[in-house]
Chains A and B, each alone.
Chain A
Amino acid sequence: MLQLRELQRSFDSALFDDASEAVAPWVRGCESDSANGAAIDAHVRIAIYRNNLREGFRKALALEFPVIERLVGEDYFRQLALSFLAEHPSRAGDLHPIGEPFAHFLHSRFEDTPYAYMTDVATLEWTYQQSLIAADAPPFDVATLRDIPPEAYGQLRFSLHPACGLVRSPYPVMRIWAVNQAEATGDEVVDLSSGADFVLIRRAAEGVEMRRIATADFAILQAFSQQAPLADALQQARALDPEFDLGEALRRFISLGVLAAAHTTHSTSPGVTPP
């Protein structure tokens, strides 16, 4: 095991730490190279693998954050991806999870700069990605509510559908996302000071859908996602909107497929809720 382990560690250093001299002694000389009779240096051969790693990582990241790539441009995105790879290399045989720390990475880079809004755009894109792959769940069964005595309503805990996510931002992230879709045309300029967004992400028959929702709706759904009892959740919504109509809101959430279940005891919810 020793030789193979040492070889793999050296190869890993050559790929990630640019230390191709670590693995070059392991690489066969090119005397026997028949292609055009010309030799290709070991360092050039190793660089092919390093390039594959960087390009594969960049492409996978761009698939998850197309709006960020469009906002910063391909060249700068390539640089960002390279720095991100150095700090947060893939930890799994599946590339899909690589984007999880990207919003945090952007925050550490762009906090207190005019580009601070990109953190929230990345959070929105990551939540969208999570919604795509979240578990399926049957539609909310209204009959479960009938069996609950009215005096127990306050202690009801609603759970959100696993594919449902909530993102709030002081920036108009929903608008930024919409005008930066591949099919969007024109050079619409979004005024960053044009207001905060409270966004609901959910999975519909046609795919993942995002919509702006009222602050009271957002507050009660967020309380549901944290397994708060209905009485507390309602209080949070009413603090923002004294006219908040619970019955009407629940009907709306059920028709949107946002609610998964209601329990009278505490349980954990697998809902997509970014930090």
Chain B
Amino acid sequence: MSTRLPLPAAAQLPLRAGIGLRAQHHADIVAHRPVVGWFEAHSENYFAAGGAQRSCLTRIRADYALSLHGVGLSIGSTDPLNRDHLEQIVRLVHDFEPMLVSEHLSWSSVGGRFSNDLLPLPYTEEALRHMATRVRDVQDALGRQILIENVSSYLQFNCSRMSEWEFLTSLAEESGCGILLDVNNVYVSACNHGFDAHAYLQALPRSAVKEIHLAGHTVRRIGEAEIRIDTHNTHVCDAVWDLYSMAAKRFNGVPTLIEWDADIPSLDVLVAEAHKADCIAGEERAAAA
């Protein structure tokens, strides 16, 4: 069943943490070349045929390692796979030779209508078979392994028959994809649904996790209750840093990325956040040595 695609040897991202690439920072990055390990670009932001955005990415790619992170392929949708969208990603992968390519454990469209959001899947055998087939189709089109990221969710489906970590683990086994472990998303969903975030991390197979994401989130009060929303608009919170320590220990040497996509601060704030991740990962590596 397993069709694991080997990563080419050159596809290693640096150990030093990377940051999410935003157009607001393009000029600053080109001018000052901040000390970060790598950049991650949202694939859809570079679908343009030409222009300044694309040429900036070309300049940045010349100096840094890169990963491509898609938010719109709607891989979990029951609509036919969007071949135009996939072709755009194939073109970007060809042009920019990223070290990693990732998508989400989610869907965002049905009947051709797109919410452009990361909607949760039910964790059923049917959804698992569907996702595994789609991931294999995408990997075949790209000729390489992709990573699938766990998303934050605000509801669960009562038809689910397995946990999210069981679903992700089976998906990796069946499709040969890697896992992009978003530690913030694990924490947000654990709080929202009352499961144990540490158990989630312990259950994921070490060999399948190829990248880690960190981001900030927002707590929203609803009456007496509270719900955590994945807003990517602030610093990583202390509880998520604690969880990251555990992740850095368990998934030693896996590249880490800082995401910040709304209310975007100056580049140095993001660089400082990446350095904080480096310190924590460095301590865990030293302790393990």
Q: Is the Cβ of A48 less than 8 Å from the Cβ of B154?
A: yes
Q: Is the Cβ of B50 less than 8 Å from the Cβ of A135?
A: yes
- Taking the closest CB of chain A, its distance from the CB of B167, in whole angstroms, is 13
A154 contacts B by Cβ under 8 Å: no
- A203 to B50 CA separation, bound complex (whole angstroms): 11
Q: Is the Cβ of A53 less than 8 Å from the Cβ of B73?
A: no
Q: Is the Cβ of A49 less than 8 Å from the Cβ of B74?
A: no
B-facing mask of A81-97, CB < 8 A → 1, else 0?
00000000111111110
Q: Is the Cβ of A93 less than 8 Å from the Cβ of B72?
A: yes
Contact among A16, A36, A95 for B226, CB-based, below 8 A: A36
B6 contacts A by Cβ under 8 Å: no
- A5 to B55 CA separation, bound complex (whole angstroms): 40
**Closest Cβ neighbor of B44 among chain A residues:** A94
Contacts of B8 in A (CB 8 A): none
- A49 to B72 CA separation, bound complex (whole angstroms): 16
- A24 to B49 CA separation, bound complex (whole angstroms): 42
Q: Is the Cβ of A93 less than 8 Å from the Cβ of B44?
A: yes
B163 contacts A by Cβ under 8 Å: no
B53 contacts A by Cβ under 8 Å: yes
- A35 to B220 CA separation, bound complex (whole angstroms): 12
Contact among B52, B78, B154 for A4, CB-based, below 8 A: B78
Q: Is the Cβ of B48 less than 8 Å from the Cβ of A93?
A: no
Contact A44/B222 with A26-B159, A49-B115, A93-B114 known, Cβ cut-off 8 Å: yes
Contacts of B191 in A (CB 8 A): 35
B108 contacts A by Cβ under 8 Å: yes
Q: Is the Cβ of A132 less than 8 Å from the Cβ of B53?
A: yes
**Closest Cβ neighbor of A16 among chain B residues:** B113
- A92 to B226 CA separation, bound complex (whole angstroms): 33
Contacts of B78 in A (CB 8 A): 1, 4-5, 8
- A4 to B159 CA separation, bound complex (whole angstroms): 10
Q: Which of B111, B115, B226 has the most chain A CB atoms closer than 10 A to its own CB?
A: B115
- Taking the closest CB of chain A, its distance from the CB of B133, in whole angstroms, is 10
**Closest Cβ neighbor of B85 among chain A residues:** A93
- A38 to B226 CA separation, bound complex (whole angstroms): 8
Contact among B48, B116, B158, B229 for A48, CB-based, below 8 A: B229
- A11 to B114 CA separation, bound complex (whole angstroms): 12
Contact among A8, A34, A96 for B47, CB-based, below 8 A: A96
- A36 to B220 CA separation, bound complex (whole angstroms): 13
Q: Which of B88, B110, B160, B227 has the most chain A CB atoms closer than 10 A to its own CB?
A: B110
Q: Is the Cβ of B225 less than 8 Å from the Cβ of A132?
A: no
**Closest Cβ neighbor of B88 among chain A residues:** A94
B144 contacts A by Cβ under 8 Å: no
Q: Is the Cβ of A93 less than 8 Å from the Cβ of B226?
A: no
Q: Which of A16, A36, A49, A203 has the most chain B CB atoms closer than 10 A to its own CB?
A: A49
B256 contacts A by Cβ under 8 Å: no
A15 contacts B by Cβ under 8 Å: yes
A28 contacts B by Cβ under 8 Å: yes
A:180-213 near B, CB below 8 Å: 203, 207
B175 contacts A by Cβ under 8 Å: no
Q: Which of A7, A27, A163 has the most chain B CB atoms closer than 10 A to its own CB?
A: A7
Contacts of A12 in B (CB 8 A): 110-111, 113, 115
A113 contacts B by Cβ under 8 Å: no
- Taking the closest CB of chain A, its distance from the CB of B44, in whole angstroms, is 4
Contacts of A7 in B (CB 8 A): 122, 157, 159
B-facing mask of A143-171, CB < 8 A → 1, else 0?
00000000000000000001100000000
**Closest Cβ neighbor of B84 among chain A residues:** A92
Q: Is the Cβ of B50 less than 8 Å from the Cβ of A3?
A: no
Q: Is the Cβ of A33 less than 8 Å from the Cβ of B225?
A: yes
Contacts of A60 in B (CB 8 A): 116
B82 contacts A by Cβ under 8 Å: yes
- A40 to B155 CA separation, bound complex (whole angstroms): 10
Binding site for A on B (CB under 8 A): 44, 47-53, 55, 70-74, 77-78, 82, 84-85, 88, 107-117, 119, 121-122, 124, 126-127, 130, 154-160, 191-194, 222-227, 229
Question: 12 A-B contacts, Cβ less than 8 Å apart?
Answer: A3-B159, A4-B122, A5-B110, A7-B159, A29-B158, A35-B191, A49-B115, A89-B114, A91-B112, A92-B85, A93-B116, A133-B49
Query: Closest 10 CB pairs between A and B?
Result: A93-B72, A34-B194, A133-B48, A136-B50, A38-B225, A135-B49, A45-B155, A90-B114, A8-B110, A38-B224
Binding site for B on A (CB under 8 A): 1, 3-5, 7-9, 11-12, 15-16, 26-29, 32-36, 38-40, 42, 44-46, 48-49, 52-53, 56-57, 60, 89-96, 131-137, 162-163, 203, 207
